[in-house]
Structure 1
Amino acid sequence: MKTKHRIVREYIQSKILDGTFSPNEKIGSESEFMERFQVSRHTVRLAIGDLVNQGWLYRKQGAGTYCAARSELGQMDKNHKNIALITTNISDYIFPSIIQGAESYLSKHGYNVSLFSTDNDHKHEKEVLEKILTHPIDGVIIEPTKSALSNPNIHYFLNLEKSDIPYVMINAYYDELEPFSITIDDVKGGFIQTEHLIMQGHQNILGFFKTDDLQGTRRMKGYIKAHRSHQLQINPSNIITYHTEEKSTKPVDMLEKILLRPGQTRPTAIVCYNDELALLLLDVLRKQKLKIPKDISLIGYDDSILSQVSEVKLTTIKHPQAVMGEVAARKILEVINDRVSIPPYKGRQDSITYEPELVIRNSTNTFETPRIEIQTV
């Protein structure tokens, strides 16, 4: 359990890191902190004293306490050769492969890797960034949290830049920062997914997309572009969007309702945001006694290990995974070793985008429109 003076100290640190307290600006009075946290003056003075000793704050006799100008914030102890690797998950799905690719390369070059997970939650991302900014870290490889939404933690990334801590973004990026990133062309990937089904004769195609991440919005864009390219009308109710917190419930509930449609209006194929979702929806289809791909085709994304663990082997889009991790590690070390320079606002120019590839297995098949026989009397 945190002590009261630690709670006050961490609050002040957080306000310095997110830019609320600017360099050489006076912070709140002792009385204000006493009232905010319902603590004694002694507790507040302990917290402020710690931060003064650590160089976060300085006192002016008779004027109060001020935020220090910390040009080397987070770099108090250089040459530890530490890289922070931050993903939205650590142990599941494609993330172990990405991490292994980065960690293997970095360890060969004498760097330690600190792993962090944000659980795709802005609050957790904030906590991780605060930890990084107060510890000796040479560089950061990060997968953005809910990259399609406005991010409340932008100040922390600006503080990384101010502290000369380079960062590389993987899988997605915060567009407003224009960082160097390593991604896959998700618009093209969504297009390829959908076009594959269209070319097999499917016209009534469901699309499930997680839209709090940039990957999901772009894959949905590809889904729409494929329909338009082939001059197919999209049924608006065939696009199902959801957020991270709903990923285990909303897609299942929606598919169960959609499968209640009359026979001729039922979808004949499903485009999935990723392989993880495809397996979740596969369980729904099994419960409805539907056979894949005879009754309905299903296509995933990422070519994860999940695409081959079921008796139904998923047609999917290949993701570079380990290669992406290794390339991110190589890039961050190039920056640290001054072999290249990537000013954040120019990083988009040199960013790496992988071309998506279709991997065809047995979860998709051709669809033939049922014949309507006209009987003559």
Structure 2
Amino acid sequence: METKYSKVKQAIKSRIIDGTYTPHQKINSESELMKEFGVSRHTVRLAIGDLVTTGWLYREQGSGTFCADRTEENHNRTISNQKNIAIVTTFISDYIFPSIIRGAESRLSQEGYQVSIFSTNNDPEKEREILEKILSQSFDGVIVEPTKSAFSNPNISYYLNLERLGLPYIMINAYYDELEPISIIVDDEMGGFIQAEHLIQLGHTDIAGCFKTDDAQGTRRMKGFLKAHRKYGIPLNPKNIITYDTENKNTKPLDEIEKIISTKHNTITGIVGYNDELVIEILNLLRAKKITVPGDVSIVGYDDSFLAEVSEVKLTSIIHPKSEMGRAAADTIIELIKIRANKNKVESPYEHSIVYNPKLIVRNSTKGLTPVEITS
């Protein structure tokens, strides 16, 4: 159970971390804190005293207690012998994430960095807790896969505090648009376009698309899917666009696909999936309904994960760079740390974002109907 002293201390610390208290700003008085938390003056003084001792606050006789400027402290930490990197990802142990993490870890370990890995489970509140830890501890740089990147992020103040402290961070797979950070991503709009175009060029004109739209990757893939239909002049049934989010990813897309294939007038011959993980579940559903792939329905995945080749039907899928992305993220954050430590700053290629061009690997989950004539 959290003590009253710890509660007050953590609350003040959180306000420093999220930028509520800025350097040299006077914090609330002892009386105000006593009233806010319903604690004694002794408890408030203990909490403040500890934060003064550890460098989060400082006192000025006769004036009050102020938020310390930790910018110089963080700069000194970077040029010291401590070498620690935080990797924050939405998920750790499944799908393509282990490959990305291994790629980054391998490169960082070569340079003598210790790596701490955190998972948000695509939950903004969990992301906030992790960012507080990172801002409270000794890290030289941060690699982040943003949480629910399609939405305005409630934790922007924490990223701005990273910037204020001069702590380098980059984003992978997606990024928060309002921050315009250095990022390493796949051109997901083009990926979604290629998925749909592949089926269209094989003669499919009634295609369902499943997209996870609380992540920017999904909204961009959907945009590409729509663009492909427009380019080839193929009408798109709005009912064939299936959107879902993290909370209902295990139920909604399959439920919606089942509704479509179970209707009396179902005519879909192609399905585009947000990723291979979903496509495998769709394959299982189609098999249970005695619908063959690619005999009755062609299906295209995304990420070219290990699932693409272990499934009964080998998946046509968009290639994700995975380990290569991890290594590129590591190279970038290492270089940004070096640039920060070098007062004679020079332009570096690592100060720019990387966008991978998507490519399709064709296997046997797709087949042609009547080819569509391609027009430029």
Tell whether the structures are fold-level matches, with TM greater than 0.5: yes
Shift of 1:144: 1.0
Distance (Å, rounded) in 2 between the aligned partners of 1:85 and 1:106: 11
Q: Which of 232, 248, 271 is the equivalent residue of 1:230?
A: 232
Q: TM-score, normalised by structure 2?
A: 0.91
Shift of 1:326: 0.5
Please tell me the root mean square deviation across aligned C-alpha atoms, in Å.
2.2
SS at match of 1:209: strand
Shift of 1:124: 1.1
Is the contact made by 1:106 and 1:329 (CA closer than 8 Å) also made in structure 2? yes
Shift of 1:21: 1.5
The residue aligned with 1:208 is 210
The residue aligned with 1:28 is 28
The alignment status of 1:314 with 2:315, answered yes or no, reads: yes
Q: Is the deviation greater in 37-46 or in 83-92? A: 37-46
Is the contact made by 1:315 and 1:358 (CA closer than 8 Å) also made in structure 2? yes
Pair 1:348–1:111, CA change in 2 (3 A): closer
Is the contact made by 1:8 and 1:44 (CA closer than 8 Å) also made in structure 2? yes
Is the contact made by 1:180 and 1:347 (CA closer than 8 Å) also made in structure 2? no
The alignment status of 1:291 with 2:292, answered yes or no, reads: yes
Distance (Å, rounded) in 2 between the aligned partners of 1:36 and 1:242: 41
The residue aligned with 1:56 is 56
Shift of 1:291: 1.2
SS at match of 2:43: helix
The residue aligned with 2:183 is 181
Q: Is the deviation greater in 317-326 or in 65-74? A: 65-74
Which amino acid in structure 1 is aligned with residue 250 of structure 2? Answer: S
Is the contact made by 1:181 and 1:347 (CA closer than 8 Å) also made in structure 2? no
SS at match of 2:2: coil
Is the contact made by 2:128 and 2:155 (CA closer than 8 Å) also made in structure 1? yes
Is the contact made by 1:139 and 1:336 (CA closer than 8 Å) also made in structure 2? yes
Is the contact made by 2:332 and 2:350 (CA closer than 8 Å) also made in structure 1? no
Q: Is the deviation greater in 95-104 or in 308-317? A: 308-317
**How many positions carry a matched residue from both structures?**
365
Q: Is the deviation greater in 35-44 or in 126-135? A: 35-44
Is the contact made by 2:74 and 2:166 (CA closer than 8 Å) also made in structure 1? no
Structure 2: stretches of 5+ with no match in the other structure:
372-376
The residue aligned with 1:88 is 90
Pair 1:74–1:91, CA change in 2 (3 A): farther
SS at match of 2:339: coil
Q: Is the deviation greater in 282-291 or in 320-329? A: 282-291
Shift of 1:173: 1.0
Shift of 1:347: 9.6
Distance (Å, rounded) in 2 between the aligned partners of 1:24 and 1:87: 33
Structure 1: stretches of 5+ with no match in the other structure:
370-377
Which amino acid in structure 2 is aligned with residue 360 of structure 1? Answer: V
Which amino acid in structure 2 is aligned with residue 280 of structure 1? Answer: E
The residue aligned with 1:375 is none
SS at match of 2:210: strand
Alignment of 1:1-377 (within 5 A): 1-72=1-72, 74=74, 77=77, 78-263=80-265, 265-338=266-339, 350-367=352-369
Is the contact made by 1:178 and 1:347 (CA closer than 8 Å) also made in structure 2? no
Percent identical pairs in the alignment equals: 59
Shift of 1:216: 0.6
Q: Is the deviation greater in 330-339 or in 94-103? A: 330-339
Which amino acid in structure 2 is aligned with residue 234 of structure 1? Answer: L
Shift of 1:153: 1.1
Which amino acid in structure 2 is aligned with residue 151 of structure 1? Answer: N
Distance (Å, rounded) in 2 between the aligned partners of 1:168 and 1:188: 22
Pair 1:40–1:280, CA change in 2 (3 A): farther
Q: Is the deviation greater in 5-14 or in 187-196? A: 5-14
